Amino acid sequence: MPCLKKFSVLAVLVILITGNSFAQTVKVKKETARVKGENMEGYEVTLDGPYESIQEAFTKFLKTIGKVKQGDDGIVVNEPSVNGLAYKQPLLAVTKQKDKTGAAWIGFKSSDWPKEDAEKVSKELEKILKDFGVKFYRDQIQLQVDESTRASLAVDKQKQKLTNENKALNTKLEDNKREKLQLDKSLEANKLENETLLKKLEKNKHDQDSVSLAGDQIKKIVESHKERQRKVN
């Protein structure tokens, strides 16, 4: 069982280290996306991570820009604020699933925007998506940091538990040694007392035999005296 626990801890450490052994680079590119039945120009970033996590994070990120309205064919960001400037025209966004990864896209329908505003916002969209990609990776790494921290605390707790157990076992061991020493002394004293008692019993038996023998001799003398007494006339 201890070996299994040790293996589990090492396995967790390997996973945590492996998960943090590389750094992601966020690359944003111009890309076309089909939104509301039309192909629109915008910017896209492909991210390493579960699609559901990318989708959730992107929707949350867009809420910091404007009022988000999510539909089956994409996300509409109404009253967006870009680089400190508010606009009446909406931004459009979609998320895409790509094998084991996902992508986030943002753009707008240029025909709905004044030309000057469209040019300003278009220059900012790449930066916005870059910021999202960086935030996504940092948040994912933070989850790993939190997980590693919890694992570290769990290891520290287990280490403290084992340290306390070690102290308790050492205390019991010292108590056991003292008790054994006392028992050894008692055993030695008991052995000496046993030998003394055996000697006393042997002497007692010998004394009893001597007294019995003397008693028998005395009885014979008494009978002899009585016999002599009877013969007196």
Q: Is residue 126 part of a domain?
A: yes
Task: Specify the CATH number for the domain of residue 125.
Answer: 3.30.530
Neighbours of 120 (CB within 10 A): 15
From the centroid of its chain, how far is CA 181? Answer: 42
Instruction: Report yes or no on 99 lying in a domain.
Output: yes
Digit-by-digit pLDDT tens for the chain (233 residues) are 554 454 455 445 544 444 444 567 899 999 988 887 888 899 999 999 899 999 999 999 999 999 999 887 889 999 999 988 999 999 999 999 987 789 999 999 988 999 999 999 998 999 999 999 999 999 999 999 999 999 999 999 999 999 999 999 999 999 999 999 999 999 998 988 888 888 998 899 888 888 888 888 888 888 888 888 888 88
Number of domains present in the structure of the chain: 1
Residue 98 counted as domain residue: yes
Residue 16 in any domain: the answer is no
**What pTM value is reported for the model?**
0.66
Residue 207 falls within a domain, yes or no?
no
Residue 123, in any domain of the structure: yes
Residue 128 domain-assigned?
A: yes
Range of the domain at 119: 22-137
What is the maximum alpha-carbon separation in the chain? 174
CB 75 within 8 A of CB 59: yes
pLDDT of residue 213: 86
Token duo for residue 233: 């006339």
Question: Alpha carbon 103 to chain centroid distance?
Answer: 33
Contacts of 183 (CB under 8 A, 6+ apart): none
Tokens of 117: 């505003």
C-alpha torsion sign, points 117, 118, 119, 125:
positive
